[in-house]
A and B are shown apart, each in its own frame.
Chain A
Amino acid sequence: MTQTAAARLATGAEAAPAPAAEPVLAVEDLQTYFYTRRGLLKAVDRVSFSVGAGETLAIVGESGCGKSITALSVMRLVPSPPGRIVGGSVRLRGRDLLRLSEEEMRQIRGNEISMIFQEPMTSLNPVLTIGNQISEALILHQDVSRKAAMERAVEMLRLVRIPEPERRAREYPHQLSGGMRQRAMIAMALACNPKVLLADEPTTALDVTIQAQILELILELQQRLGTAVVLITHDLGVVAETAQRVIVMYAGRKVEEADVTSLFDEPLHPYTRGLMGSIPRLDMPETGTKGADRLQEIPGMVPPLNALPPGCAFAPRCAMATEKCQAEYPPYRELRPGHWSACWHAERLMAGGA
């Protein structure tokens, strides 16, 4: 280990980019169920997606839609019981993680796939210094000495632009501000130069000016390292500014998928359309008449997972719903190249008809 971490990372020597055609991470028909007293909850129901090197895929949806459980399933961190991955595959560069032993999986977590969470304080160990926590992953996965690991931890802190990294490495999580903690988390997640980074609402708990710093940091590091990023968020603004492709989830299922521009230009699922109409916009002119411009509402609320309707889960809240929607779950169809939607009436949402 003669090279410093930063130099290694900067040259991207180890990040052999996967061929464009082959995704780094390919999730197919993932099914994660929870067996609870309230019955069977299909938290993730046949969800598929893939993400390539250097690409950012956003998973969007409201609380309870299954976006976080999807990420935890990829990491094989779903609490079991009550949760269980009952079907599908999660291929990391061709290797199905769901078939690995727990021991093999431990070699992959924090090494080839890392995850960062919304609240860094709950995922940082309060009694270990920041430096120790970052070096732990390195010692575990990269077979380096304690001293070398600590040096690299400091390099990583410098890379995520924490001022005075030597001093900060000796500090404990509570001594850092919220934005700093999230930077430390990112440093930890990227210390082993993972192929895939799962970021679960990484900026939701942060102030907007800090959020902008952290998003910029993630994207910049991604470009340098060629990491594939799966960004889980409820914030459509964050999606628009960071992702190349988006999947929209509702009640455990994927309801729409498209590249980011197509999705915002022409959402082809009524739920996506409803979400976009229900957010107040900063980029819209101010009318000056407060009463006049109402936000578009999606009536009602997400149905509980143990009482999903037989047909489309969104039908009870959907203005376009017909009897067919109540009765039968719509097939997932490609309506424009690369733009998929699970809606019986998607054609009616297409500009200029089908």
Chain B
Amino acid sequence: MSGSLLQERRPGGGANLAAEPVLEVKELKKHFPVRKGILRRTVGHVYAVDGVSFSIAQGETLGLVGESGCGKSTVGRAVMRLVEPTSGRIRLNGHDITRLSKAEMRPHRREMQIIFQDPYSSLNPRMPVGRIVGEPLYVHGIGTAKEREERVAALFERVGLRAAQMKNYPHEFSGGQRQRIGIARALTLDPKLIIGDEPVSALDVSIQAQVINLLMDLQQEKRLSYLFIAHDLAVVKHISHRIAVMYLGRIVELADTRTLFTDPQHPYTEALLAAVPVPNPRQKRKRRILQGDVPSPIRPPPGCHFHTRCPYAEERCRREVPVAKEVAPGHVVACHLR
């Protein structure tokens, strides 16, 4: 289905070496200035993303979890270059894209796409959905009008919509269908990497299952890589091969899915797992509930950001930022106590 339409004009060309990750992020930082007063003087910064590193291989899903305000969405947006990173490096298919200009960025844009939580706000209400899905082909000047239409029709069928629905407008679709449209649009240019920013969070559970299954099927078919950003641990566990846990702008733990759930090493991961209600009334348990709120990212606590809520915190945690270390192959933890 991806067809000949898209074969030419790929940056760098050639097949990836198996070992080379599709996406590599190193020490990524994004600080937003906080401005006050009539002179809009910068009085501080929101440390939204504060030194985040990870990589994603071809065909792999990396889940990025954390609570609201932890910076997980900003990571997705910085990778897409929708916000400019303050520092750090982003490599896509081996190309450093961190500082590319708009024009230089263009050929790389088709390699990665993003799906948002609320598909309705990301679909132009005045455009028939067929045109929305076909727009990227048009922008990149790919194929003839007829070829483009055929490709869009094929995409519609693939994501579980009917080709006849191409001429309808976004408001004529349900939430689940709109998310399918968002997925079709992301697939139009046959990208290597798809960033999903809470892509199923707004959907009802029965519809959520349909969309998750679709995403996983597409991954198998096209060897897609996903950066799957979500707050729902059960969903992330289901879809991800590896998971990174974020707290206040930093990754506190990163491991393969099985290890993270069976052997969590960071106290925050532990608390997060314990907080999720389990749909089994026979397992009602008395659990230790994490107290307090997430501190403000404008004035994050010194040392380990988590020390204000951590039951095990020691003196050192209040002063020194813990360095991420590999406690087992592929299992990275940033905690003084490990």
Residues of A within 8 A of B (CB): 62-63, 177-180, 207-213, 215-216, 234-242, 260-261, 264-265, 274-283, 286, 288, 290-291, 293-299, 301-302
Contacts and interface: CB of A to CB of B under 8 A. Distances in A.
Contacts, number: 139
Contacts of A290: 61, 216, 219, 239, 241
Contact of B289 (A216, A278, A286, A294): A216
B273 interface: yes
B301 interface: no
B171 to A, nearest CB: 14
Contacts of A286: 237, 257-258, 261-262
Contacts of B237: 280, 282, 286
Nearest to A287: B258
Nearest to A241: B277
A204 to B, nearest CB: 10
A226 B322 CA distance: 46
Given A286-B257, A290-B61, A240 B284 contact: yes
B234 A279 contact: yes
Given A209-B289, A286-B258, A291-B220, A279 B281 contact: no
A15 to B, nearest CB: 24
B281 A240 contact: yes
B233 A177 contact: no
Contact of B205 (A213, A275, A282, A294): A275
Interface string B226-261: 000001011101110100000000000000011001
Interface of B: 61, 67-68, 174, 176, 204-210, 212-213, 216, 219-220, 231, 233-235, 237-239, 241, 257-258, 261-262, 271-284, 287, 289-291, 293-294
B212 A210 contact: no
Contacts of B216: 290-291, 294
Q: Is the interface of B mostly helix, strand, loop or mixed?
A: helix
Given A62-B204, A297-B210, A301-B176, A281 B275 contact: no
Given A208-B233, A282-B234, A241 B281 contact: yes
Contact of A179 (B210, B231, B293): B293
B207 A295 contact: no
Contacts of A234: 204-205
A213 B159 CA distance: 39
A215 B275 CA distance: 11
Given A177-B293, A286-B257, A290-B61, A295 B275 contact: no
A295 B212 contact: yes
A297 to B, nearest CB: 5
Contacts of A297: 206, 209-210, 213
Nearest to A301: B174
B277 A235 contact: yes
Contact of B276 (A179, A239, A282, A291): A282
Choose among B257, B276, B279 the residue with the greatest number of A CB atoms under 10 Å from its CB.
Answer: B279
Given A207-B231, A240-B278, A282-B278, A63 B204 contact: yes
Given A280-B237, A290-B241, 11 more contacts: A208-B272, A212-B274, A212-B289, A237-B278, A241-B278, A242-B277, A264-B279, A280-B235, A290-B61, A298-B209, A299-B210
